[in-house]
Each structure stands twice: as structure tokens, then as C-alpha cells.
Amino acid sequence: MTSTPYSFSVVSDNRCLVLAASSAEEKDKWVEDISVAGTAAGEQPRDGADTTAKITYPSLKSNSAYCD
């Protein structure tokens, strides 16, 4: 668990991201957007089909720290 208010970790096989939102509402929106992105990624075709469709998540910002 992280000690920064409204922060959480996203863990994958090869990295860990610690994300910190500025409010509880922003954190909830980020968690929702990440969940939707994960679902969408799981629905992408794996057979070389065109995957140029891009989903944007304006609530997610690119300020994150990597876990060691």
C-alpha cells in the first residue's frame, strides 16, 4: 500500500506503476478508465488484424513514478 493520499499501484508482470491523484474523485475516475482500458485491450484481435483504433482517457495524466 502506498502512503500518498489518493495513490494506488498498478502491477503487471514486468513493472509496477505508482499513481497519485489529486482527489478521491480523480482516483476513482482513473481506476475506472484503467479498468475499461484493460477490458478493451483484452478484446483486441491477436491475429494481425488492423488495431489502429485508439481509445483515449482524458482523466489519465502522464505523471507517474515507477516502482523499484
Predicted local distance difference test score (pLDDT) of residue 61: 56
Residue 64 in this model has a pLDDT that exceeds 50: no
- Give the per-residue pLDDT at 43: 72
Beta bridge partners, 66, equal: 17
Q: What are phi and psi of 54, to 5 degrees?
A: -120, 130
Buried b or exposed e, range 23-58, using 16+ CB within 10 angstroms: eeeebebbeebbeeeeeeeeeeeeeeeeeeeeeeee
Q: Taking the domains of the chain in order of start, what are their residue ranges? A: 7-66
pLDDT, tens digit, 9 for 90 and up, residues 12-50:
889 898 999 999 999 999 999 888 888 887 776 666 665
